[in-house]
Chain A
């Protein structure tokens, strides 16, 4: 190339016009070789979206790393055993047992969290599916819109309001109709039932709407009644969507803190029944975090609970993915 350049320079240097031609050719060459406005837009867009993505990834990662290091400190620094944490029933971070290990049995809270979550979802699922079917199959356009806005309203109510209603209405109701002091897993489940209902309902509606119309038409054309169509075609083909909705509801219920804390009684003991005071991972966390000092056993133990919650939400996510993949057929 260099040689060629030199050659051409030597051979054409005698032609005076050539320089002018080179100048004429330059704009086209420049245009082709330089970056156009569109390309620059492309680059800006790319940089922008990549930096947004990397920011989000960094935030998520640093949250995870932070909670993990804090949560694992209980086991690494304070030498508590993971086995005792998961299956011990004595939660009292400020005290130690005879061997000098802190008393960090989190099983009561784990049981409480799963208890309220599962019961709440068992209550909520039939109602949510029923409402969703009504909205998609039975109601007129107006009725559907009305229900839609009611559900959206339920989502918008802050959890402290749910908690206060729970404290003033649900707790006395449970006390008079079921017995006990009114504080316990059952009250927590009742409050969570209302809180997860909108999530599960609106996701079920989406999955019912996603069923191809010709499924329904074919079923009706075969002479099936409306109920048979719903039961044998609609619900069957949207099962994975409905399951996803339920898991999302569970994740929401598992992570809810304030409303549950107000009605469950917050006794860090193994629940003796649905009517006895119990506690959840979140309720112990919210109560304790302001009263402990960073870096102490009590504080680290709370971070371990937070890590547990994080891992559970990860597991719920994985389950949702798994169901989604199976449901694709």
Chain B
């Protein structure tokens, strides 16, 4: 793997040099009419939650900037962070702050927050519960409450479906809900799609999903009477949300810089971000730091 990474690095570096040469050639030949045009190769790896947004944005970006080639891959937040730290990729996508990840030197990386994602607890439609208190939710996930009738639902065993240990979704849920308590050992699933299907089909199931994966086949749960909506996320009334980060290492090249500013531009934030179920970063009235401290944006 290390060798592979090395080879990949060499290839990327080589292509970067080649592309760099190409760029200097083309810029000398082309006139100032296309002074804005950038070229280069961008490799983006990491969070699967952010992947669809980046893929779509990259597609649009490449139609406008035909000299830029962007590769977007999944692999998980941990992969994204470690790959960008080792220099194997240009951008590492992550659902969590680099500070929250083991083995990552956050000070070496530049954080670019491109979107906000809200998450909500979801239950199987037949359990008969639409609202829980934060404490009840915590007790369900620590295993203190094991039957739905204890929280006003049917007499049915609770089937916990947690997310993969170390995944961004789980980290967000645990920092905002669990309050330092450890979740009970239970089933775990990695992908949003699978979790959605499992909750819809398993009687008594509870899990949590990003807003964009909540469909009519499952029941989202309000917490302390607050509904999981985008508007409540922007004011932090709904507390379970996190940033989607795109980390770079060192000074990014022109193409990377252009793509990152494209991600933050109104063009992406007002259309794609909303379409794909994220909350636009510009709409946020509060901000969170790596220690989960929330402050107002003035």
Q: Which residues of A contact B (CB under 8 A)?
A: 62, 66, 70, 92-95, 167-168, 171-172, 175, 181-183, 261-262, 265-269, 277, 279, 286-299
Contact with A along B86-117 (1 / 0, CB 8 A): 10000000000000011110000000000000
Verify B166–A266 contact, CB threshold 8 A: no
Verify A66–B2 contact, CB threshold 8 A: yes
Asked if B167 is an interface residue, CB under 8 A from chain A, the answer is: yes
CA distance A295 to B2 in the complex (A): 11
Given A181-B205, A267-B186, A288-B165, 16 further pairs, Cβ under 8 A = A93-B165, A94-B102, A167-B194, A181-B187, A183-B202, A262-B194, A266-B164, A268-B185, A268-B188, A287-B164, A287-B165, A290-B48, A290-B190, A291-B78, A291-B79, A291-B167
Name the residue among A279, A291, A295 with the largest chain B CB count within 10 angstroms: A291
A-B contact count (CB 8 A): 100
Verify B189–A266 contact, CB threshold 8 A: yes
Asked if B159 is an interface residue, CB under 8 A from chain A, the answer is: yes
Verify A293–B165 contact, CB threshold 8 A: no
CA distance A277 to B205 in the complex (A): 13
In B210-263, the 8 Å CB interface with A consists of none
Verify A62–B202 contact, CB threshold 8 A: no
CA distance A267 to B78 in the complex (A): 21
Verify A296–B103 contact, CB threshold 8 A: yes
Complex partner residue of A293 from B3, B81, B203, CB under 8 angstroms:
B81
> B190 to chain A: which residues have CB within 8 Å?
261, 286-287, 290
> B167 to chain A: which residues have CB within 8 Å?
291
Verify B201–A171 contact, CB threshold 8 A: yes
Verify A288–B166 contact, CB threshold 8 A: yes
Verify B166–A298 contact, CB threshold 8 A: yes
Cβ-closest chain A residue relative to B98: A293
Distance from B296 Cβ to chain A, minimum over Cβ atoms (Å): 32
Distance from B228 Cβ to chain A, minimum over Cβ atoms (Å): 24
CA distance A294 to B92 in the complex (A): 14
> A62 to chain B: which residues have CB within 8 Å?
3
> A175 to chain B: which residues have CB within 8 Å?
202-203
> B77 to chain A: which residues have CB within 8 Å?
290-291
CA distance A94 to B170 in the complex (A): 13
CA distance A171 to B86 in the complex (A): 41
CA distance A7 to B198 in the complex (A): 98
Verify A94–B185 contact, CB threshold 8 A: no
> A94 to chain B: which residues have CB within 8 Å?
102, 165-166
Interchain residue pairs A-B with the least CB separation, the first 4: A290-B76, A291-B166, A293-B103, A296-B103
CA distance A171 to B74 in the complex (A): 28
Verify B165–A269 contact, CB threshold 8 A: no
26 residue pairs bridging A and B, Cβ less than 8 Å apart: A66-B1, A66-B2, A92-B165, A95-B182, A171-B201, A172-B201, A181-B187, A181-B202, A181-B204, A181-B205, A182-B202, A183-B202, A261-B190, A266-B164, A266-B187, A268-B185, A269-B185, A287-B188, A290-B78, A291-B79, A291-B166, A292-B166, A293-B85, A293-B104, A294-B103, A296-B102
> B198 to chain A: which residues have CB within 8 Å?
167
Distance from B99 Cβ to chain A, minimum over Cβ atoms (Å): 13
Contact with A along B164-200 (1 / 0, CB 8 A): 1111100000000000001001111110001001100
Verify A291–B76 contact, CB threshold 8 A: yes
Asked if B282 is an interface residue, CB under 8 A from chain A, the answer is: no
Asked if B153 is an interface residue, CB under 8 A from chain A, the answer is: no
Distance from A107 Cβ to chain B, minimum over Cβ atoms (Å): 14
CA distance A287 to B249 in the complex (A): 27
Asked if B207 is an interface residue, CB under 8 A from chain A, the answer is: no
> A268 to chain B: which residues have CB within 8 Å?
185, 188
> B182 to chain A: which residues have CB within 8 Å?
95
Distance from B173 Cβ to chain A, minimum over Cβ atoms (Å): 14
> B86 to chain A: which residues have CB within 8 Å?
294
> A286 to chain B: which residues have CB within 8 Å?
190
> B76 to chain A: which residues have CB within 8 Å?
289-291
Cβ-closest chain B residue relative to A108: B185
CA distance A287 to B162 in the complex (A): 12
Asked if B75 is an interface residue, CB under 8 A from chain A, the answer is: yes
- Evaluate whether A267 and B188 lie within 8 angstroms (CB atoms) in the complex, with A167-B197, A291-B76, A293-B81 already known: yes
Name the residue among B75, B79, B166, B189 with the largest chain A CB count within 10 angstroms: B166
Distance from B43 Cβ to chain A, minimum over Cβ atoms (Å): 16
CA distance A129 to B75 in the complex (A): 41
Distance from A286 Cβ to chain B, minimum over Cβ atoms (Å): 8
Verify A291–B201 contact, CB threshold 8 A: no
Distance from A319 Cβ to chain B, minimum over Cβ atoms (Å): 29
Asked if B82 is an interface residue, CB under 8 A from chain A, the answer is: yes
Complex partner residue of B187 from A93, A172, A183, CB under 8 angstroms:
A183
Distance from B30 Cβ to chain A, minimum over Cβ atoms (Å): 41
CA distance A70 to B194 in the complex (A): 30
> B205 to chain A: which residues have CB within 8 Å?
181
Complex partner residue of B159 from A181, A290, A293, A299, CB under 8 angstroms:
A181
> A167 to chain B: which residues have CB within 8 Å?
194, 197-198
Cβ-closest chain B residue relative to A294: B82
> B159 to chain A: which residues have CB within 8 Å?
181
> A288 to chain B: which residues have CB within 8 Å?
164-166
CA distance A182 to B159 in the complex (A): 11
Distance from A52 Cβ to chain B, minimum over Cβ atoms (Å): 19
Cβ-closest chain A residue relative to B205: A181
Name the residue among A95, A287, A290, A294 with the largest chain B CB count within 10 angstroms: A290
- Evaluate whether A291 and B165 lie within 8 angstroms (CB atoms) in the complex, with A167-B198, A267-B186 already known: yes
Verify B194–A292 contact, CB threshold 8 A: no
CA distance A299 to B1 in the complex (A): 13
CA distance A266 to B207 in the complex (A): 14
> B3 to chain A: which residues have CB within 8 Å?
62, 66
Verify B188–A266 contact, CB threshold 8 A: yes
